[in-house]
């Protein structure tokens, strides 16, 4: 919660407490301590009462002069049925008073309601902030992050090891730069491109590179950010996202982890759950049908679980293309390593091709982590540059875990480990 909002809530709380205090003070000032009815009759008999006011519950007598306690009136809490007959015996004027209780009744209804809704609003705001939903006015707003070209900081030069996927996306970039060229022969650019592949292979990086190359606004959001605990919020956020993107077209909408949103409908179980997610998915399908790709709006999405996606998402006219972003081969790993080692101080003579041969099965994210671990290992050694031994130690750390220096192996375990490591060496030599 912003500081300004905290001050506003504080003002309302202080004002409410002040109003309650003034009301109590005002009621106390008007209240006269009641006396026994016998004392009231005695005051009447002695002729000390000048005027009597009769209400529904009390009898108030205004004294001719203040009594020994300085009181100018007395109140009896018990009214006799024959009160009027008794009053007529004395030289005193009397009348019936109808109390006006509207203010008290209104306050008794309004103040508890205001206090209840105030506390509810405060607690809801705190809960919404912890859940990352913002306030009432922003609950249906899209939470997509918008990047311009200078903010993405990524181009195809920063992406390596996925040449086939890059080639597929070059056409998307060319369309965003020259949309008229494609319309000349009646061609229609795909509305959506789905990037499919294991985690860490560079799907999100490719999407950012497309935005950076095309120099257009890039709306990035995760599929899980659409669905909240309130029904209708996800659909409202989908509508708001597409409205923002249309307003800045040509643009790219990138939905990461699409499987969190696009899971096949009708698999919510017997309890009928996931209604909110299905409504959000329906709204996404409607929006993808409702825009013309010629305006320059492209949908990119990424998932590592394409088999669970709703088939309506994958049909022609929505996600027309599926681009496989797989783990890189040896040449791809070498290219990725060359990109990442630019950020570290590399010793002369380090054979990156050898490192690429030792990292079979590593994804792009794994290789980035490998380079960072090698740099950290060189830092721990107080070295001036990262050497091959640092890469080797980093590979062992990633694959086998931390070195257990205090563990003592018996001869049988040593023999088993020796055979295992010899197998690694033979495979590396063969590759």
Q: Report yes or no: 77 and 56 within 8 Å, Cβ to Cβ.
A: no
In terms of Cα–Cα distance, which of 149, 138, 305, 137 is closest to 214? 149
Q: Specify which residues 196 forms β-bridges with.
A: 303, 324
Q: Specify which residues 63 forms β-bridges with.
A: 49
Angle at alpha carbon of residue 91, lines to 88 and 94, rounded to 5°: 60
Kindly tell me the sign of the dihedral angle through the C-alpha atoms of 344, 350, 353, 355. Answer: negative
Q: How far apart are CA 228 and CA 114, in angstroms?
A: 28
| Active-site residue, 225 included | no
Q: At 321, is the secondary structure helix, strand, or coil?
A: strand
How crowded is residue 262: how many other Cβ atoms within 10 Å of its Cβ?
27
Among 39, 353, 415, 421, the active-site one is 421
Order the strands of the 251-256 sheet from edge to edge: 145-147, 218-222, 251-256, 297-303, 192-196, 319-324
Q: Report yes or no: 256 and 220 within 8 Å, Cβ to Cβ.
A: yes
In terms of Cα–Cα distance, which of 350, 416, 418 is closest to 389? 350
Q: From its phi and psi, is residue 112 left (phi > 0), alpha (psi between -120 and 50) or beta?
A: alpha
Q: How far apart are CA 41 and CA 264, in angstroms?
A: 86
How crowded is residue 104: how many other Cβ atoms within 10 Å of its Cβ?
12
Task: State in Å, rounded, how far the first CA of the chain is from the last one.
Answer: 57
Residues labelled as active-site residues: 421
């Amino acid at each position: 919660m912003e500081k300004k909002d905290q001050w506003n809530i504080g003002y309302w709380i202080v004002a409410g407490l002040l109003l309650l205090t003034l009301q109590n003070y005002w009621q106390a000032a008007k209240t006269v301590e009641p006396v026994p009815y016998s004392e009231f009759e005695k005051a009447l008999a002695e002729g000390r009462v000048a005027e009597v006011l009769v209400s529904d519950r009390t009898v108030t007598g205004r004294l001719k002069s203040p009594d020994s306690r300085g009181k100018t009136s007395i109140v009896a809490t018990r009214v006799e049925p024959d009160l009027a007959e008794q009053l007529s015996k004395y030289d005193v004027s009397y009348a019936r008073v109808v109390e006006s209780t509207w203010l008290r009744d209104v306050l008794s209804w309004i103040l508890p309601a205001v206090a209840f809704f105030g506390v509810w609003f405060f607690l809801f705001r705190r809960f919404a902030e912890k859940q990352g939903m913002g306030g009432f006015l922003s609950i249906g707003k899209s939470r997509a992050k918008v990047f311009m070209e200078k903010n993405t900081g990524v181009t195809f030069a920063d992406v390596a090891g996925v040449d086939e996927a890059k080639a597929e996306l070059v056409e998307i970039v060319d369309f965003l730069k020259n949309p008229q060229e494609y319309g000349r022969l009646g061609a229609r650019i795909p509305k959506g491109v789905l990037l499919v592949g294991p985690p860490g292979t560079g799907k999100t990086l490719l999407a950012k590179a497309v935005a950076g190359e095309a120099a257009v606004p890039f709306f990035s959001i995760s599929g899980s950010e659409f669905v909240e605990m309130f029904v209708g919020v996800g659909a409202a956020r989908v509508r708001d996202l597409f409205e923002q993107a249309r307003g800045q077209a040509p643009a790219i909408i990138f939905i990461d982890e699409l499987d969190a949103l696009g899971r096949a409908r009708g698999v919510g179980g017997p309890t009928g759950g996931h209604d909110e997610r299905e409504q959000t998915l329906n709204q996404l399908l409607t929006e993808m049908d409702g825009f013309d790709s010629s305006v320059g709006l492209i949908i990119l999405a990424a998932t590592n679980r394409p088999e669970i996606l709703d088939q309506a998402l994958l049909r022609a006219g929505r996600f027309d293309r599926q681009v496989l972003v797989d783990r890189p081969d040896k040449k791809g790993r070498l290219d990725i390593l060359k990109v990442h080692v630019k950020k570290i101080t590399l010793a002369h003579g380090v054979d990156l091709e050898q490192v690429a041969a030792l990292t079979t099965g590593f994804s792009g994210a794994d290789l980035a982590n490998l380079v960072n671990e090698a740099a950290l290992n060189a830092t721990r050694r107080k070295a001036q540059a990262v050497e091959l031994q640092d890469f080797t130690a980093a590979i062992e750390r990633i694959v086998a875990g931390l070195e257990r220096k205090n563990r003592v192996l018996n001869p049988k375990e040593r023999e088993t480990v020796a055979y295992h490591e010899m197998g690694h060496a033979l495979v590396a030599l063969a590759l």
